[in-house]
Amino acid sequence: MLGRLKFLFLYLVSLVLFFEAARLLFLGYHFSKTRGLSFSTTVYSLLYGARMDLSMAGYLMVPLCLFVLTSVFVPFFRRAGIYQAYSGILLFLLLIITIADLESYKVWGFRLDASVLKYLDSPKEAWASVSHLPVFWILALFVFIYCVLCLLLFRWLKNLSQYLQGDEKKVWSGLLVLAFSACLAIPIRGGFGLTPMNQSSVYFSSNLFANQAAINAHWNLLYGVMDKTSTTKNPYLYLSTESAKRAVDSLYISGGTAKQVLNTPSPNIIFIIWESFTAKATKLSIDGKEVTPHFNQLKKAGIYFSNVYASGDRTDRGLSAILSGYPALPQTSIVRFPGKSVKVMSLSQSFKAKGYQTSFYYGGETEFANIKSYLLQSGFDPIVDIHSFAKKDQNSKWGAHDGVVGNRVLADLAQTSTPFFATWLTLTSHEPFETPVPVVFDGKDDTNKFLNSLHYTDNVIGEFIDNCQKQPWWRNTLMVIVGDHGHRLPATENEFERFITPMLWLGGAVKEKGWVMDKIISQLDIATSLGSQTGVDVKSFPFSKNIFSTDTKPWAFFSFNNGFGYLQPSSGFIFDNVGKTIVAKRGILSSNIINAGKALQQQTFQDFLDK
């Protein structure tokens, strides 16, 4: 009678042990971060994580409990084959998630969650992101490990199936299995507390990596898939509605005089949005060779903004921040919701209304991350992407390399009537960092590959600008070069530096040459700052401020997977929304500064929900 309970209990324990083994693998794979933890902190990651492991194991036990309950009355369900088949499928899925989580954390900095599913509708781009890995050997290793584990698992289940035999005292056996099944609600929910299991349930440290290690990636993915409130309910209600609004409004007070930096109110405008352009790279020289020599030289030809913070850490967030002054959001993007993004004004729409020709260029698929719908709604016409290039020119896993696209932009602008508003989104410096030219910096590690890709695009942009300067429209043109977001590479201990992306305004329409603006600004500020220089109605960009106004407050706000950062000149912090804790800071933090960041997170997400 107790045999079935023993079967279920041992199976539950085996699942928990699997998840703990997966956590050890995660800690080992990211040893460069793990070695920064004390031994006790590492152990606590395992202990606290076991709570989430039990929750995930509880979910996976539900079908098994149903099989075992049925076995009390139906002999067919006492066969080991049924449990071997279920376990084989389960092991396959669990191993895939375990392996995918290892590399996704390395690239994104957070455990695997439902956001990865949003990229599966663009399989070519998804493949481009992982194709630099030794996929064949990873698959071969996966098949080997899976086969070995299946052999061991099937043998164990065959022996374990003896506990399912016998049909005496059916009623009592059935009641015991039902009782065990009902008790699974406790670990699934995370205990007897009022709050059900969530990520913060396993957070225990001020070290973000230690907390991330405690998370069960399988549970995290399942939670994201099942969560129905992510776009209907604001999870960032840190302050009262009135207090949050008052705090945010105080940051946008502006009424001073604004410096006019352009010599015409109607310049041609070219945006070069540089993939993963991080300020860290512009400061690097390796063996006497600068990573971005052309960009560094061009700083002297216009206005260089040295302290610009990206609004987010993904391209779709960067586009809406730059072109619409709309903030990046944790865990999602307004670009992914056409019904919401259509309510957001963009610079291209504003200039199109003024009679500008608008165009957008990208060597990859604009369908990726639903970007195309945002571009169409923003009034871009034409939209030139991978489908506009010959197969021979699609020389990157993403599509056409930057050199090919730059030549197309230049050729099209030569035939475009002025004034025009053209935007070029580069792609070569996206993973897998492949370039169509010989490398400049030796080394096959990700850092050197990334720096080589930036160096290549820097050359392309330098040549592009040289050619632009020969065009008759250059003397009446403003060119804005800015990154779509920063990058984790090159590695740094300063978490704030990941979000700094350089910006440069140059061209014949720029009055000042060699001016460096070093005050803190945001990508979000581009829309109002440019709009104010050119007579555009900036009321459509409520989250953007004019950086050229004398009394504009210098601050920046950015979001990442489930957290945010807020900075002022002398202080700043990065906040983890899950653990509700500050994970990085600089300067002295006051309650007003902390509340300003929280208010921005609360208000920006509420604006997204209200659209």
Q: Please tell me the predicted confidence (pLDDT) of residue 536.
A: 95
Last residue of a domain, one of 207, 226, 245: 226
Considering the domain architecture, whether residues 204 and 261 belong to the same structural domain is answered as no
Q: Please tell me the predicted confidence (pLDDT) of residue 119.
A: 62
Confirm whether 236 is domain-assigned.
no
pLDDT band for 295, please (50, 70, 90 cuts).
Answer: very high
Average pLDDT over residues 427-451: 94
Confirm whether 561 is domain-assigned.
no
Average pLDDT over residues 417-442: 96
Q: Is the pLDDT of residue 411 over 90?
A: yes
Considering the domain architecture, whether residues 207 and 278 belong to the same structural domain is answered as no
Handedness of CA 487, 492, 493, 494 (dihedral sign): negative
**Residue 279: its H or E element:** helix 279-282
Considering the domain architecture, whether residues 216 and 113 belong to the same structural domain is answered as yes
Considering the domain architecture, whether residues 209 and 279 belong to the same structural domain is answered as no
Q: Is the pLDDT of residue 567 over 70?
A: yes
Structural domain count of the chain: 2
What is the span of the domain harbouring residue 337? 254-552
Q: Is the pLDDT of residue 361 over 90?
A: yes
CA distance 277 to 500: 9
Average pLDDT over residues 114-141: 68
Q: Please tell me the predicted confidence (pLDDT) of residue 497.
A: 96
Confirm whether 196 is domain-assigned.
yes
Contact yes or no for 258/467 (Cβ under 8 A): no
Considering the domain architecture, whether residues 394 and 436 belong to the same structural domain is answered as yes
Q: Which of 167-176, 207-216, 592-601 has the highest mean pLDDT?
A: 592-601
Kindly report the average pLDDT of the chain as a whole number: 92
Last residue of a domain, one of 535, 552, 569: 552
CATH code of the domain covering residue 491: 3.40.720.10
DSSP state of 39: H
Considering the domain architecture, whether residues 222 and 265 belong to the same structural domain is answered as no
pLDDT band for 198, please (50, 70, 90 cuts).
Answer: confident
Considering the domain architecture, whether residues 273 and 337 belong to the same structural domain is answered as yes
Q: Please tell me the predicted confidence (pLDDT) of residue 59.
A: 96
Confirm whether 558 is domain-assigned.
no
pLDDT digits (tens, 9 = 90+) for 70-119: 999 999 999 999 999 999 999 999 999 999 999 888 877 778 887 776 66
pLDDT digits (tens, 9 = 90+) for 507-532: 999 998 999 999 999 999 999 999 99
DSSP state of 273: E
Residue 332: Cβ within 10 Å count: 19
Q: Is the pLDDT of residue 204 over 90?
A: no
pLDDT band for 481, please (50, 70, 90 cuts).
Answer: very high
Contact yes or no for 204/211 (Cβ under 8 A): yes
Considering the domain architecture, whether residues 334 and 186 belong to the same structural domain is answered as no
Considering the domain architecture, whether residues 302 and 372 belong to the same structural domain is answered as yes
Average pLDDT over residues 18-23: 97
Q: Please tell me the predicted confidence (pLDDT) of residue 206.
A: 73
Q: Please tell me the predicted confidence (pLDDT) of residue 396.
A: 87
Print burial letters for 564-590: b (CB count within 10 Å at least 16), e (below 16).
Answer: bbbbbeeebbbbbbbbeeebbbeeebe
Confirm whether 87 is domain-assigned.
yes
pLDDT digits (tens, 9 = 90+) for 205-243: 878 789 899 999 999 999 878 866 567 899 999 999 999
pLDDT band for 339, please (50, 70, 90 cuts).
Answer: confident
Q: Please tell me the predicted confidence (pLDDT) of residue 132.
A: 61
Confirm whether 295 is domain-assigned.
yes
Considering the domain architecture, whether residues 358 and 498 belong to the same structural domain is answered as yes
Average pLDDT over residues 298-313: 97
Last residue of a domain, one of 552, 576, 595: 552
Q: Please tell me the predicted confidence (pLDDT) of residue 133.
A: 66
Considering the domain architecture, whether residues 456 and 328 belong to the same structural domain is answered as yes
Confirm whether 587 is domain-assigned.
no
Considering the domain architecture, whether residues 91 and 202 belong to the same structural domain is answered as yes
Confirm whether 583 is domain-assigned.
no
